[in-house]
Structure 1
Amino acid sequence: MTLKKGGLTRATDSEGSWQLDRIVSELHDIRTRWRGAQQRTTECGAREFPSREALRDIAEALCGALFPMRLGPSDLHQESEDFYIGYTLDAALNALLHQVRLELRYDARRAASPQADVNLLARAIVAEFALSLPGLRALLDTDVLAAYQGDPAARSVDEVLLCYPGVLAVIHHRIAHKLYALGVPLVARIISEAAHSSTGIDIHPGAQIGAGFFIDHGTGVVIGETAVIGERVRLYQAVTLGAKRFPADEAGTLQKGLPRHPVVEDDVVIYAGATILGRVTIGRGSTIGGNVWLTRSVPPGSQVTQANLQNVPVAAELVEP
């Protein structure tokens, strides 16, 4: 007799050569010690964290509802679009509500705060997220158009939606960023990491990104949590918008939430392999060449390449406080 789960096949008439009783017992003891040290006990022993698998399914359903004839089911017809969208959103939003509840309850337990209002807060968050979807679709239309207009190899907007990893990553980011802003950062991070796993593009859901954003090719792009990106910005593969240093307090603990990533103003192009670190500002209309390493602000209209990097004027305190 065999049991199948997750692609694995296990014989149930094992002779016990793996010492499974011992291993299971030792793993139990280790988990118990860890949960006690981290104060991660639950009253009923039920799952206390959002599910990666569930949130991947939710994100995929939301993508289909936003772009039904391209990212929805293959047998969909326009006359049944509205029914499909309504049915899909009802299922996806109810599933999202459960995941949001899990995060809020987890936060309440960690803070030792009352959980009486968790259900109301979760419903309010998902309701506001739902109402944001039309605006999110309109914003994504600017991203799709930017991808089509920014790549001479693109033959149609349909092609970029179906084929471009940068567009898929941006769709997930727009969804995740809204949830991050609404106060469920773990749910948001799981959604963004689903896109990261499939595209190689790592956008933290906290990053603020304006309309008309295009990532061409995309693999290896990293955009940090406090990055601020303006409108009509284009990035190429292996671009990093990262932190230069990580301030710590007197105890040596890293300080969270400080502005530490770049500000990229409108109409900037950053070519492949460029690395921009710290809370610096890349002025409007600038072009940053491939493989440039930049840790200072540059004024609007700058053309920065490896060859002229030493001669580029330093912007007069464009960085945010």
Structure 2
Amino acid sequence: MSELTKAAVNGRSSHWQLQGIVSQLREARADWRTRNGRVSGEHGGRELPSRAAMAEILEALSGALFPMRLGPVDLREESEDFYVGHTLDVALNALLAQARLELRYVAHQRGEDVSGLDQKALELIQGFATALPGIRLLLDTDVLAAYHGDPAARSVDEVLLCYPGILAVIHHRLAHYLYRAGLPLLARISSELAHSATGIDIHPGAQIGASFFIDHGTGVVIGETAIIGERVRIYQAVTLGAKRFPADEDGQLQKGHARHPIVEDDVVIYAGATILGRITIGQGSTIGGNVWLTRSVPAGCNLTQANLLQAQSDDGCQQKGRE
């Protein structure tokens, strides 16, 4: 029995004048809904997707993707397929319910007809299910990149079980599919669950290639329109952010513009670097720690605070092999 239930059973809740508080909270909710033109959920039920439900779904999907490492402790290989099939059935049905909530919520907000949305949600989650084997193969490249990229890693199993960057990337790979499929709220919830757990903030819209490794990870921020190539490695406190936020004539921020960096293949970005705006970091470049960068750099660049200050070349970077 929970503490709240025990308190209610023992009558202690009478100390708090709950009837009046509940009434005032109801009035506050009603006022907010009226002022914001909100409509009640169907049959008075929940209107929005559930963060708690998505947390359970993502944990189940992670277990289905890596059953012998992220699945239940007593799982045996001979029952692996049964576990994966059962877990996916439960998780995908739960995800379908959340997808229906998001689609109906958006339709209500836009004043659109909700008929046909259940079928649309089913098709979206069927597509998601079909994509899971490919997502698993992509995640395998990320796990190997972490193992090969960190001399402290003793095994791929250690990487998968312990590294916060891998947890964040698992969530991102799943969330990115949902984002591109037209379920951005479910995608954002998925990303923010990983953000809360790891301190790594990856917007689900970011495009990230294979063999991606975030080492340590705390404080990493990757914006919505960032594009990251293959075999990219970044360290803690790196920001791939926007330089400015254009506003319309009414002063409202314009949304949807490409405003985050493009990071090409085989780039390494060390701790604390801040890279802002729609600039390009050329293939094979290395960006040193704590560099503040708002302009593109060519392929093969070795950019540090020192050579930025010394301006050893017109673009302030040393080409690899000529340092």
**Residues 132 and 263 (structure 1), Cα distance of their counterparts in 2 relative to 1, 3 Å cut:** same
The question of 1:204 aligning with 2:203 is answered yes
SS in 2 for 1:276: strand
Aligned to 1:164: 163
The question of 1:41 aligning with 2:44 is answered no
Percent same amino acid among aligned pairs?
Answer: 68
Aligned to 1:81: 80
Aligned to 1:249: 248
Larger fraction in helix: 2
**Pick from 14, 18, 21: which aligns with 2:16?**
18
Aligned to 1:238: 237
Offset of residue 167 of structure 1:
0.6
Bigger shift: residues 230-239 or 16-25: 16-25
SS in 1 for 2:306: coil
| Contact 1:3-1:12 within 8 A present in 2 as well | no
Offset of residue 189 of structure 1:
0.6
TM-score, normalization by structure 1:
0.94
Offset of residue 116 of structure 1:
0.6
| Contact 2:7-2:13 within 8 A present in 1 as well | no
**Residues 248 and 53 (structure 1), Cα distance of their counterparts in 2 relative to 1, 3 Å cut:** same
**What is the number of equivalent residue pairs in this alignment?**
313
The 4+ residue runs of structure 1 with deviation greater than 6 A are: none
SS in 1 for 2:3: strand
CA distance in 1, matches of 2:222, 2:2: 42
Aligned to 1:178: 177
CA distance in 1, matches of 2:64, 2:225: 29
| Contact 2:62-2:170 within 8 A present in 1 as well | yes
Offset of residue 80 of structure 1:
1.1
SS in 1 for 2:251: coil
**Residues 248 and 119 (structure 1), Cα distance of their counterparts in 2 relative to 1, 3 Å cut:** same
Aligned to 1:319: none
1:210-225 to structure 2, matched below 5 A, reads 210-225=209-224
Deviations 1:247-276 (A, max 9, x none): 110011111111111110000000001111
Offset of residue 16 of structure 1:
4.2
CA distance in 2, matches of 1:125, 1:110: 20
CA distance in 1, matches of 2:28, 2:170: 39
**Residues 10 and 287 (structure 1), Cα distance of their counterparts in 2 relative to 1, 3 Å cut:** farther
Deviations 1:130-182 (A, max 9, x none): 00000000000100000000000111111100010001100010000001010
Aligned to 2:271: 272
Deviations 1:172-230 (A, max 9, x none): 10000001010000001111111111111010000000000000000110101111000
Offset of residue 314 of structure 1:
4.1
Give, as a single letter, the amino acid of the residue that structure 1 aligns with 2:77: Q
1:1-321 to structure 2, matched below 5 A, reads 4-5=3-4, 9=7, 12-14=10-12, 16-42=14-40, 43-310=42-309, 311=311, 313-314=314-315
Bigger shift: residues 132-141 or 38-47: 38-47
TM-score, normalization by structure 2:
0.93
